Amino acid sequence: MFGLRLAVATEDFGRNLRQSISLAARSRVRGLRLNVRKEVRAEEFTATGLRQLRHFVEEHQLKVAGLYFQTRHALADKEMLEQRLDGLRAAIELARPLGTEEILVRIGRVPDPDGRESREDSQPTNTDVDSLTNPFSFAPTGPVAGNGQVCEAKQFRHLCEVLQDMAAIAGHRGASLQLIPASYDTARLRRLFSEVSTGPVGLVFDPATCVMSGRDPIDVFRDLYSHVGYVRLRDACRDVDGGGVEVVHGDGSVDWSEVMAVLTEAESSLWMCAERTGGDQRGTDAAHAVNRINELLPAF
């Protein structure tokens, strides 16, 4: 049997953490993805509290399947950078006590390592973020060069420096950074991974982001599979204006039979998290996604 492991995000159930874990346990999953900015805040949990939480998860025959470090701004954005990195360091410290390795963090749009662009052109669009209606979409900021221009190369170097520092810390704590990009620019992502060598860093593969940014999920995965360390099971539709929106699993443009086939071919031990970041019935939608994926699994 291949090594893919199915999980759900507890925050989708909209209850307190204990209730969400109990509800998630009713699904056919092996793991739970926790949000370390909303559900498991480092400053609110003692060592004893973390042990109790892990024990409660394991009592339900589950494991912690990654920690999501959610931020409004991109990781390397200079606005409130030190506070953000302090929060990420605290999240990394939670990984080992909770029995997980993966720290999921949004890095936003990867700048062009060899270029620059105008501030006007650098404003985010639906192709750059999950959705402009998403309250966690990124605000456009960055190092400014002469004539009101944003220096892309400087932004890229800054992002690499931040990731180098954080990856080293994660590596020493037995954790790995899993990067959530705003879009899948293959060349830039490969360049980024080649520049970060101080610790384990992986890519979060999200078919919904592929669709919303006009990319084919199968092509993206095959181009970048050697870097993929985590999977988000989200669906999406692309609209006529070139934007996109996340939808209920199976109602979008993602061909899930093909996606599962390429994931299986990779023969990797990956967590696949069924999640829903919008809608009024996120928990129900996530459970629906789990059922559909489980129906597909026997075919592989």
DSSP collapsed to 3 states, 194-233 = HHCCCCCEEEEECHHHHHHCCCCHHHHHHHHHHHEEEEEE
DSSP 144: B
pLDDT of amino acid 94: 98
**Whether the Cβ atoms of residue 52 and residue 17 lie closer than 8 Å to each other:** no
Q: Domain 5-299: what homologous superfamily? A: Divalent-metal-dependent TIM barrel enzymes (3.20.20.150)
Identity of the amino acid at 197: S
pLDDT tens-digit series, residues 56-111 = 999 999 999 999 999 999 999 999 999 999 999 999 999 999 999 999 999 999 99
Q: pLDDT grade, residue 135 (50/70/90)?
A: very low
Q: pLDDT grade, residue 133 (50/70/90)?
A: very low
Map out the domains of the chain as residue ranges. 5-299
> Percentage of residues in the chain with pLDDT exceeding 90?
80
| Whole-Å CA distances, 53 to 40, 67, 80, 86, 128 | 9, 14, 30, 23, 36
Closest by CA position to 272, among listed 292, 251, 244? 292
Q: What is the mean pLDDT of the segment spanning 250-278? A: 92
pLDDT at position 129 over 50: no
Q: Which residue has the higher pLDDT, 51 or 144?
A: 51
DSSP 15-38: S-HHHHHHHHTTSS-SEEEEETTT
pLDDT of amino acid 299: 65
Show the beta-strand stretches assigned E in the chain.
Answer: 5-9, 31-35, 63-69, 102-108, 117-118, 149-150, 176-181, 201-205, 228-233, 235-238, 244-247, 271-274
For all residues of the chain together, what is the average pLDDT? 89
pLDDT at position 1 over 80: no
pLDDT at position 149 over 80: no
pLDDT at position 116 over 90: no
pLDDT at position 207 over 70: yes
